[in-house]
């Protein structure tokens, strides 16, 4: 029997044996963690039919979680500071900030709809309470959000903390860095955190390296593809867009720093949000946590009173932060979307540039529409990622049949991410409605329980709906057969798009 087994192994050949070993190792890793069945089958197919390439591809793009060593390091450092501070009876910035948040936390919302959503967030985002006393400005357009942020940067007195997915090696990217450098030369602390993949053009050309040599200016790239630390996850990216000025003013939304907002023929329309009040410190902490993970700075230099200044109420908007990322099996954005779709009674307006729904979310949209909720979804008529657009189209017929109304906005390309539920609840931030944002990327969003802000955001959305053409079911069914094949093919590939 052993001889027969030996002969069989010899007949396989060295390449086949290596292939089987690689496939076995990768398959064991794929099956070790819970995934969508479609994603699991796709990766098993890729690694099974493309021996070496498939294994490398999975190592770079298929692993959807990160080691917890860095997060444990951060939490242990915070606990150490808290313990040391209490023993010295000194003011601890983080403890002060948490006490400040608790004192400004909005009371339990009386309306059952908001209370239901907020109670779910108590579990999804227990670290981030609902904070009252905020003011939110909706900034829409092309260059308008950038100009607003540039103006805030120019007024910075103590520090500028900026996190961006894309900083281009172009006019807008260089102008940003020049403005940051000017403030640094005036003694302002500048910390710039960029996603190394999204900003790869500027990174590979050494743009950040040149500016990081300046006094008071630090530039760090965010990546999980570091061979020295045995990390190969190119697929995991920091998609957040956060700007905090002096701990007093914050920005978040969909705007990146590159020239697409300047182009005349292929320009972009986006939404960004300017925040004042206690919620700015939530953005501050999010930035500093990401910064600590990637930089060599100690928490002592980050968790300071200067970074978490005393904050008073400046408005009446209650905000709650929801961060998401590839940490474990939690999918807070998906859970929140389920909660909003279930809580909606009359109307949902939303816009997103990438609308590739998971099967469970597709059913949630259908269920809401079938029970009479008016759902209007605004999408770009022309997409900058054609493969993602094809994948999105695979769910159109099912949604249209159930009563969901789809609108295709004419150029410029709309890159905004926003949602309004029943004129009372608003969701906005950096996340798209696609598998990458919902499962893989690091994202930051705010949910607001405020009719006034919801009304202003709704007006902005309706302005864009007025520039769109509704896609009817009758028109959609007239598309040619080859488009249906493309839609279903790219929908099958959506876990790796």
More confident residue, 247 or 126: 247
> Does residue 307 share a domain with residue 429?
no
> Does residue 166 share a domain with residue 42?
no
> Does residue 351 share a domain with residue 214?
no
Say if 55 falls within a structural domain.
yes
Percentage, residues of the chain above pLDDT 70: 77
Contact 483, 345 (CB under 8 A): no
Q: Which tokens in the block code for residue 326?
A: 């590839």
Predicted confidence band of residue 99 (pLDDT cuts 50, 70, 90): low
- For residue 299, the model assigns a pLDDT of 79
Whether 415 is a known active-site residue: answer yes
Whether 307 is a known active-site residue: answer no
Q: Which one is catalytic: 258, 417, 450, 464?
A: 417
Predicted confidence band of residue 91 (pLDDT cuts 50, 70, 90): very low
Predicted confidence band of residue 69 (pLDDT cuts 50, 70, 90): low
| pLDDT of 325 over the 90 cut | no
> Does residue 383 share a domain with residue 290?
no
Q: Which one is catalytic: 159, 169, 239, 307?
A: 239
Q: Where a domain ends, among 315, 346, 375? A: 315
Q: Which one is catalytic: 19, 159, 169, 246?
A: 246
Say if 368 falls within a structural domain.
yes
Say if 178 falls within a structural domain.
yes
Query: What's the rounded mean pLDDT across residues 239-266?
Result: 93
Say if 327 falls within a structural domain.
no
Predicted confidence band of residue 466 (pLDDT cuts 50, 70, 90): very high
- For residue 480, the model assigns a pLDDT of 94
- For residue 43, the model assigns a pLDDT of 67
Say if 120 falls within a structural domain.
no
DSSP per-residue codes, 320-359: EEEEE-SSTT--HHHHHHHHHHHH-SSEEEEE-S-B---H
More confident residue, 172 or 61: 172
Question: Would you call 386 helix, strand, or coil by DSSP?
Answer: helix
> Does residue 46 share a domain with residue 190?
no
Contact 66, 327 (CB under 8 A): yes
> Does residue 163 share a domain with residue 24?
no
Say if 339 falls within a structural domain.
yes
Say if 116 falls within a structural domain.
no
Contact 185, 271 (CB under 8 A): no
Q: Which tokens in the block code for residue 79?
A: 């606990």
- For residue 403, the model assigns a pLDDT of 97
Contact 94, 82 (CB under 8 A): yes
Q: Which one is catalytic: 159, 161, 218, 241?
A: 241
- For residue 203, the model assigns a pLDDT of 95
Contact 269, 412 (CB under 8 A): yes
> Does residue 271 share a domain with residue 385?
no
β-strand partners of 413 = 268
β-strand partners of 221 = 194
Predicted confidence band of residue 3 (pLDDT cuts 50, 70, 90): very low
Predicted confidence band of residue 326 (pLDDT cuts 50, 70, 90): confident
**What CATH number corresponds to the domain at position 462?**
3.30.870.10
Say if 354 falls within a structural domain.
yes
Distance, in Å, from the CA atom of 178 to the CA atom of 174, rounded to the nearest integer, reads 6
Query: What's the rounded mean pLDDT across residues 69-96?
Result: 49
Report how many domains make up the chain: 3
Whether 246 is a known active-site residue: answer yes
Q: Where a domain ends, among 281, 315, 349? A: 315
Query: What's the rounded mean pLDDT across residues 158-175?
Result: 97
> Does residue 75 share a domain with residue 37?
no
CA torsion sign, 286 to 306 to 133 to 146? negative
Query: What's the rounded mean pLDDT across residues 235-262?
Result: 95
Q: Where a domain ends, among 315, 349, 383? A: 315
Strands 374-380 and 405-409: what pairing?
parallel
| Residue carrying structure tokens 């500093």 | 288
Residues in contact with 37: Cβ distance below 8 Å, sequence separation at least 6, in sequence order: none
Whether 239 is a known active-site residue: answer yes
- For residue 100, the model assigns a pLDDT of 63
Burial of residue 297, with CB atoms counted within 10 A of its CB: 0-12 exposed, 13-18 middle, 19 or more buried: middle
> Does residue 336 share a domain with residue 362?
yes
Q: Which one is catalytic: 274, 415, 458, 464?
A: 415
> Does residue 260 share a domain with residue 300?
yes
Range of the domain at 137: 69-104+133-315
> What does the pLDDT look like over 402-418, one tens digit per residue?
999 999 999 999 999 99
> Does residue 253 share a domain with residue 140?
yes
For the chain, give the mean pLDDT. Answer: 86
> Does residue 353 share a domain with residue 229?
no
């Amino acid at each position: 029997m052993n001889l027969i087994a030996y002969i069989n192994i010899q007949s396989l050949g060295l390449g086949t044996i290596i292939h089987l070993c690689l496939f076995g190792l990768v398959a064991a890793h794929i099956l070790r963690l819970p995934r969508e069945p479609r994603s699991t089958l796709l990766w098993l197919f890729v690694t099974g039919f493309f021996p070496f390439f498939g294994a490398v591809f999975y190592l770079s793009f298929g692993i959807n979680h990160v080691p917890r060593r860095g997060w444990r390091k951060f939490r242990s450092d915070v606990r150490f500071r808290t313990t040391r501070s209490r023993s010295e009876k000194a003011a601890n910035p983080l403890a002060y900030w948490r006490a400040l948040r608790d004192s400004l936390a909005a009371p339990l919302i009386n309306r059952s709809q908001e209370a239901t959503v907020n109670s779910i967030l108590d579990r999804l985002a227990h670290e981030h309470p609902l904070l009252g006393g905020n003011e939110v400005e909706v900034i829409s357009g092309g260059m308008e959000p950038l100009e607003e942020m540039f103006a805030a940067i120019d007024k910075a007195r103590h520090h500028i903390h900026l996190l961006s997915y894309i900083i281009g090696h172009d006019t807008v990217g260089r102008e940003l860095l020049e403005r940051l450098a000017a403030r640094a030369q005036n003694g302002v602390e500048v910390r710039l955190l960029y996603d190394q993949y999204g900003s790869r053009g500027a990174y590979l050309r050494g743009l950040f390296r040149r500016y990081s040599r300046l006094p008071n200016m630090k530039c760090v790239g965010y990546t999980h593809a570091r061979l020295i630390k045995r990390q190969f996850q190119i697929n995991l990216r920091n998609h957040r867009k956060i700007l905090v000025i002096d701990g007093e003013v914050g920005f978040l939304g969909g705007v990146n720093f590159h020239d697409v907002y300047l182009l005349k023929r292929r320009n972009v329309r986006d939404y960004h949000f300017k925040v004042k009040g206690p919620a700015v410190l939530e953005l501050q902490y999010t930035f500093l946590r990401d910064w600590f993970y990637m930089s060599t700075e100690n928490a002592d230099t980050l968790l300071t009173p200067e970074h978490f200044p005393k904050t008073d109420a400046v408005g009446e908007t209650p905000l709650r932060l929801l961060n998401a990322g590839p940490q474990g099996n939690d999918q807070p954005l998906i859970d929140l979307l389920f909660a909003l779709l279930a809580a909606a009674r009359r109307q949902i307006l939303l816009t997103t540039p990438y609308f590739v729904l998971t099967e469970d979310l597709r059913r949630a949209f259908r269920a809401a529409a079938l029970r009479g909720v008016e759902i209007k979804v605004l999408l770009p008529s022309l997409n900058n990622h054609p493969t993602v657009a094809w994948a999105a189209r695979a769910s159109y017929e099912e949604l249209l049949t159930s009563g969901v109304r789809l609108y295709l906005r004419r150029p410029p390309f709309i890159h905004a991410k926003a949602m309004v539920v029943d004129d009372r609840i608003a969701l906005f931030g950096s996340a798209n409605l696609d598998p990458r944002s919902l499962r893989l990327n690091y994202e930051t969003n705010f949910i607001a329980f405020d009719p006034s802000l919801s009304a202003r955001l709704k007006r902005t959305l309706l302005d864009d709906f007025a520039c769109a053409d509704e896609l009817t079911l009758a028109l959609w069914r007239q598309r040619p057969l080859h488009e249906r094949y493309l839609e279903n093919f790219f929908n099958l590939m959506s876990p790796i798009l």
